[in-house]
Structures are given as structure tokens and as C-alpha cells.
Chains A and B, each alone.
Chain A
Amino acid sequence: MNQTIVPAASVLHPTAAFARPVKMRGEKVTVHYGAKQALFEVNLEIPERQVTALIGPSGCGKSTFLRCLNRMNDTIEGARVGGMITLDGEDIYDPTLDVVELRARVGMVFQKPNPFPKSIFDNVAYGPRIHGLARSKSDIEEIVVTSLRRAGLFEEVKDRLHEAGTGLSGGQQQRLCIARAIAVSPEVILMDEPCSALDPIATAKVEELIDELRQNYTIVIVTHSMQQAARVSQITAMFHLGNLVEVGPTEKMFQNPDDKRTQDYITGRFG
């Protein structure tokens, strides 16, 4: 378990290959749940306005790393995070930093669609309201409509904005959750297996959406589907047993990975 993995060259200087400014950077990130260590000194850079995919076998720490990026691990009792994570060069674990503000800048979409038991409109308006992003009713309406449009949901729900969000189909619910995250104008959106509860058509829609969102947002997505990682991401990072094995441009990772484990995993030989 504790063996140190000698990182490939691209892990140490990944940005060289991507030529994009770094949005978030994790340095020697470790996570413990109680006595159990779930992440071992992970160094990973997330380039701006790109889709970074985190892949790896179940239980390797992808969700754990993702949750570190907006400090959702704070809500888990017994979870401890070590090392440093920066957003635009600022340490997000700095005690003077406001978690609430951080989570507004780094939004999150979960594996299972989790709309609040409220109307579609109120679901999207939730974030802007608590952060006081809108002055008037018409401001809120505008934010809601724009967010739903960006999430590609507006046309489908424009006639029933005031019906319950839980009444939508699974795929629509997931896009509603994306709209909800977009509504607070985050800079980074974290997605933890956002399509695992969806059928292929709904998945295709969400993937299309992710591709569009790349224009405006930095996206980190955890996925178990190699095809999905290949389709939507520009950068892919491979995790194994709490270690970052390898990270690089998605094409290279899928065509000739440096690490044997990556190759095995991608070709479906283990995991």
C-alpha cells in the first residue's frame, strides 16, 4: 500500500505539455479518513478552461481528490486533508479563506442527480439567492433562464418552471443540477460521475453540454467510462490505490501511456 510510486516526468511538469494557465494546483495532497489514508501525496494541476478527466479503478480516491478541490471533505466527519491546494495561486485551505465563497467559485455536480424538493425555478435560483447575486426579481429570472439555457434544459422546461424539480427525468434532473451549479457563476465545475445514473441518450446530451461549458468554465470530471473520458476531456489523470499514476493529454494517455497500469486499465485488463 505505502510503496512510493516514482512519477513519470509528465507528472512533475504537466503544464509544459498543455500550454494553458493553471487554474487549480494540488501539491502533495494527502487525505485520511480516520486512520485510513485514502490519498498519497498527489500532485496535479488543473488547466484553465479545459476538461480534466480523473480515471482509475473503484476506490482509488478520485472522488476524494475531487472533494478536496472545493473542501467538501470538510463536511465528512473524520476526514483530514494535508498538503496544499491552490485556486488562482491562493491556498484554499488557508484558515482565513471563506469556504462558502470558495464553493461559490468551485461548484459541484454529484453522481446522483439531487435536485432540491422545490420548483425548477427555485432550484436554479437557490445559489444566486443565498449569495445575494441578484438585486431584483427580474435579475433572478434572467439568471435562471440563462443558466437553464446554458445547461440545454430551457426549451424542455420553459412551460413548467414552477413545477417540482424532482418530477423531471433523471437526465433532465442532472442537467438541472448543472444549471443550478452554473447559476452562481463558478469558475470551476467539479463533476463526480455525472452520467452514471443516466441512459445513453441523456448521457450524450450531458457530454455535449460539458463540451460547450469548456468555453467558459474549468471542468474536472470523474468518470468510469473510458469512451466518455476520451470524448469530453483534454487532460486525463489516472489514479490507482490513492496515488496519481500518470497525467497527460487525453490523446496521448489513450494511445501510448507511459505507465503499464494505465494501459491495463484503459484496455480493460484490470480494475
Chain B
Amino acid sequence: MSTSAIIAIVLLIAAVGFTLGYRKSQRLAAGSAQKAHSRAVYHGMFVVSWALIPSLILLAGWLIASPALIAADIHADMPEAIENGTNPRLAYQMVEGIGAGLRALPADEQDAAAAASAADLRAMFQRRGIMVASASEDYMVELAVKRNRLEDYSRIAMSAVVILLAVAGAAYGLSQIAVRLRARNQVERVVGGILVLASSIAILTTVGIIFSMLFETIDFFGRVSPTSFFFGTVWDPGFAAAGADPTVGQFGLIPLLAGTLYIAFVAMLVAVPIGLFAAIYMSEYASRGVRSTVKPLLELLAGIPTIVYGFFALVTVGPFLRDMSAQLNGLITGNYQNFIQAQSVITAGIVMGVMLIPFVSSLSDDIITAVPRSLRDGSFGLGATRSETVKRVILPAALPGIVSALLLTASRAIGETMIVVLAAGVAARLTLNPFEAMTTVTVKIVNQLTGDLEFNSPQTLVAFALGITLFAITLCLNIIALVIVRKYREAYE
């Protein structure tokens, strides 16, 4: 029985349990002088919890444990493989492959196949279009048959036990139902548990990601010294060709970090004033009607995928700036030589800035609107104009919040990838000229990881070091922003 079928049956049992529990609770309440502690729905949910939770936990445990147990059993039967010098892991993978192949054969060929030699079997598989590694040996067929048998037993046992447990759980839940049963409180605990589970999955995943990056990064720093990574000014990783000396290449972070920060800076230069002014307009000047149309429109910008902005930079903004600079140069010096490259810091910065405008405006708008109305009244009541009120009362009051909004925006700018991949260029250069191409940490991560790679050379491992560096920077920005927001909240409450 397939896993989804088992789950469906368990759910069905739970549904039946719910109905029975609901009915029983109603009946008991009707026949009793006491007031029922919980409504019938809670009694129903109580039975559902008993039916679902133990059986599903068992199902999950079984699904995780059984392949491991089967694998251990098969490994124990593989002495020859180790004598032959075959890697046992590879051998087991082949057994699995053959097992899967056997299952795919039609029923009438199964018996013949189980007795066949490895070579015959490969031929049978080939006729059916099933791919199997060519290094398979005769003993593997036997093991594959055994493995399939074990798997079948396990599955039958699992189906039976899980379904029985669901029925037993539901029956137990039903038997517990009484007028004074505190089902409402129990259901509350189950709900709490589910919520905790969801949030711990989210947190554990994050931690897992960090750790997997951390191990690869440590591996990288075993091959390249941290000083030459963090303080190196040359980025020239070389190629990770097979057989090449793995230590060639220089992994200087500085030019990438400089490019990242420079482009983010230009982007903020574009996004902050425009976004902030838009926010002030929306929160202080616009009438309710205008606000209710302009705000969603601005937020629409935030929904454009960044790859589209990247395109826009590549085919529109970049060439436009290049041609404009050529014209400008021609008008002034007579030499029609463009001084802005098509891929440049300024192109990427401007387009990224446009992408960030809705972030700045929407975050700042929320913060400005949160400034109490009484402060505005106080200022207007003293005869201040709108702009005076904004400048002298509202912005100072909202400043901490706005600063933290800008930090969040900056961390987005630093982590942004698609726009810079298309618009900033790949040359890892240290320059102050915004009209030239520079590259960023994210672009280099993409570069180092494109292609068919194995993670065993510094050329690829460096991507993890870059990633974790970037993560550290944005994490710091976010933490600072959070701290500021918290302080600011306290100030108002």
C-alpha cells in the first residue's frame, strides 16, 4: 500500500472518529444534568488527535528507519563486494538500481529475471529502456531480489500497524469522552504543539543551511588562508580543471566586497530620497482617495521579479547611459567616445535603486503613519505648515524606524543577485569610477557555481565562504535594524 493511501485511510479513520465523538458527546450532554465542559466539536477534535498523532508519528518513524535497517541487512550479505575492492556504497546503489528495475518489469518476466545473471538482466532491462550501471555483478541480482522482498514485508507491516494504531487511537479517544472531559484544553495543547512544530521546522532549516555552509567554508579555509581571503585585493580564482594544481588562484574578497558596497550605495542614493519622499507624500499630503490608489501601485513595483529589472538594465538602461555618455562627450570634447560602460556600477546601482523604491516607501510609510496624530495636531495648532511639521516633528519622531527600514533595504541591496549579474559585469576590479564595471560577491558566487562541478576544489568551495560572509553582513544589518526598532517601540508605548 502506498504511503499516500495509508495517509488517506488514516484521515478517513479520523473523520469517522470525529463524527462518532461528536455524536457521543452530544448524547452524553443531553442525558446529563451537568453542563458539558467542552463543546461537541472539541470532543470530535479530541478523537481526531488521538487517531492522527500517534499513527502519523509512527508512519514517519517507520519511513525513516526502514530503509536504513534494510540497507544494513543487505550490507551484511555483501562480503564479496568488499573483497573485490568495490566501494560498498556504490555496490549498494547498484543493488537498489537493479531492485527498482526488477519492479518495473512486467509480472511474467519477474521470475526469469530473478534467476538471471547480471549480464542477461542488463539485456532484459535494456529492451525495456531501463538504465542500470554496467559494473553490476551476479551476486547483486540476488541481493536485489532479497532487498525487494524485505521492502515489501516492511511496507505490509507498516500499513497494518499504522492503520491499527489509528483505529486504536480513535477508539481510545472515544472511550475517554465524558461530560466533564476537558477536551477543549487538550485540543488547545495539540494546536500549540502543531504551531511549535511549524516554527521549529523553519528555524531548524535555517540552522541547517548555516551549518552546511559552515562546513564547506571550513574546508575552504583549510586550503586557502583566511587572511589572503579577507584581505586579498586580487580576485583570480583560476580554473578547477581536473588534475590542475588545486592551490593556484587568488581569492581576494576586497574587490568583490568593494563592488557590492559601491553598487548598494548607488542604489540607496537613488532609492532613499525617492522612496522617502513618496512615503511622505502618501502619508502626509495625499488625500485618502489618492493614497488608496498610489500605494498599491507603488507596491506593484515590488512584485516585479528581479530578473526583469536585470533585463531592463541590460537592454535599456545600460545602452542608454552608454550612448548618452558618448553624445555628451562628443558635445564637449568633440570625441564621441563613451565614458560610461554599458555594464557599470551606475547602471546596476540605478536599476537596483528603482527596485528598492517600493521597499523604502512602503516601510517608511508605515512608520510615518504610526507617528501619533496628536503630534501633528500640536504642530498645526502652533501654526506650522505641513512641510515644517514633517521636517521638524514627524521625521525626527519617525527617524529610528526609518533608519532601521533603510538598514533592511540595504541588506536587500547587498544580497541582490539577478540585477548585478546582468548589469554590473564580471570584472573583479577595484575602482572608484562608477562608470566602469565592477562585480559583486553574489555575481562571483553565481560564476563559481555555474557548470557541472564537484565541491572539492577551492574554486567552488570559495562560493560558500563568500555566501557566509554575505550572510554575516546582512545578518548584522538586520540585527541592528531590529534593535533600533525595539527601542523605538518602547519609546512610544
A-side residues, CB < 8 A to B, are 70, 72, 75, 77, 99-104, 107-108, 110, 112, 114-118, 126-127, 130-131, 177, 180-181, 184
Q: How far is the CA of A107 from the CA of B380 in the complex (A)?
A: 10
Given contacts A77-B288, A130-B392, contact A114 B384 (CB under 8 A): no
Verify if B381 is at the interface (C-beta below 8 Å from A). yes
| Total interface residues in chain B, CB < 8 Å | 21
Q: Is A117 in contact with B396, judged by CB distance below 8 angstroms? A: yes
Closest to A126 in B: B382
Point out which of A77, A100, A114, A115 has the most chain B C-beta atoms below 10 A from its C-beta. A114
Contact of B377 among A110, A115, A117 (CB under 8 A): A110
Verify if B273 is at the interface (C-beta below 8 Å from A). no
Q: Is A114 in contact with B382, judged by CB distance below 8 angstroms? A: no
Chain A contacts for B38, CB-based, 8 A:
none
Contact of B378 among A104, A114, A184 (CB under 8 A): A114
Of B96-104, B210-218, B301-309, B368-376, the one touching chain A: B368-376
Indicate with 1 or 0, residue by residue over B379-401, a CB within 8 angstroms of chain A CB atoms. Answer: 11111110010001100110000
Chain A contacts for B385, CB-based, 8 A:
100, 130
Q: How far is the CA of A41 from the CA of B460 in the complex (A)?
A: 81
B-side residues, CB < 8 A to A, are 287-288, 372, 374-385, 388, 392-393, 396-397, 491
Q: Is B380 in contact with A75, judged by CB distance below 8 angstroms? A: yes
Q: Is A114 in contact with B388, judged by CB distance below 8 angstroms? A: no
Q: Is A116 in contact with B381, judged by CB distance below 8 angstroms? A: no
Least Cβ–Cβ distance between A193 and chain B, in angstroms: 13
Known pairs A77-B288, A114-B378, A180-B378 / 20 extra A-B pairs, C-beta < 8 Å: A70-B381, A72-B381, A75-B377, A99-B383, A100-B385, A103-B381, A104-B382, A104-B383, A108-B377, A108-B382, A114-B372, A116-B392, A116-B397, A127-B383, A130-B382, A130-B383, A130-B384, A180-B382, A184-B382, A184-B383
Given contacts A77-B287, A103-B383, contact A110 B396 (CB under 8 A): no
Q: Is A118 in contact with B396, judged by CB distance below 8 angstroms? A: yes
Q: Is B374 in contact with A112, judged by CB distance below 8 angstroms? A: yes
Least Cβ–Cβ distance between A7 and chain B, in angstroms: 30
Q: Is A114 in contact with B375, judged by CB distance below 8 angstroms? A: yes
Chain A contacts for B380, CB-based, 8 A:
72, 75, 103
Closest to A117 in B: B397
B interface, by DSSP: helix, strand, loop or mixed? helix
6 A-B contact pairs sorted by A residue (CB < 8 Å): A103-B382, A108-B381, A118-B396, A127-B383, A130-B384, A130-B392
Q: Is A100 in contact with B376, judged by CB distance below 8 angstroms? A: no
Chain A contacts for B381, CB-based, 8 A:
70, 72, 103, 107-108, 110, 181
Closest to A78 in B: B288
Q: Is A116 in contact with B377, judged by CB distance below 8 angstroms? A: no
Q: Is B388 in contact with A130, judged by CB distance below 8 angstroms? A: yes
Contact of A116 among B288, B375, B491 (CB under 8 A): B375
Least Cβ–Cβ distance between B356 and chain A, in angstroms: 28
Q: Is B384 in contact with A100, judged by CB distance below 8 angstroms? A: yes
Q: Is B396 in contact with A181, judged by CB distance below 8 angstroms? A: no
Chain A contacts for B388, CB-based, 8 A:
130
Least Cβ–Cβ distance between A163 and chain B, in angstroms: 14
Given contacts A117-B491, A118-B396, contact A75 B376 (CB under 8 A): yes
Chain A contacts for B374, CB-based, 8 A:
110, 112, 114
Q: How far is the CA of A130 from the CA of B381 in the complex (A)?
A: 12
Chain B contacts for A70, CB-based, 8 A:
381
Closest to B397 in A: A117
Q: How far is the CA of A121 from the CA of B480 in the complex (A)?
A: 31
Chain B contacts for A177, CB-based, 8 A:
378
Closest to A131 in B: B383
Q: Is B377 in contact with A126, judged by CB distance below 8 angstroms? A: no
Contact of B383 among A100, A110, A114 (CB under 8 A): A100
Closest 4 CB pairs of A and B: A103-B383, A108-B381, A114-B374, A104-B383
Closest to B386 in A: A75
Closest to A99 in B: B383
Chain A contacts for B393, CB-based, 8 A:
116
Least Cβ–Cβ distance between B169 and chain A, in angstroms: 57
Q: Is A116 in contact with B378, judged by CB distance below 8 angstroms? A: yes
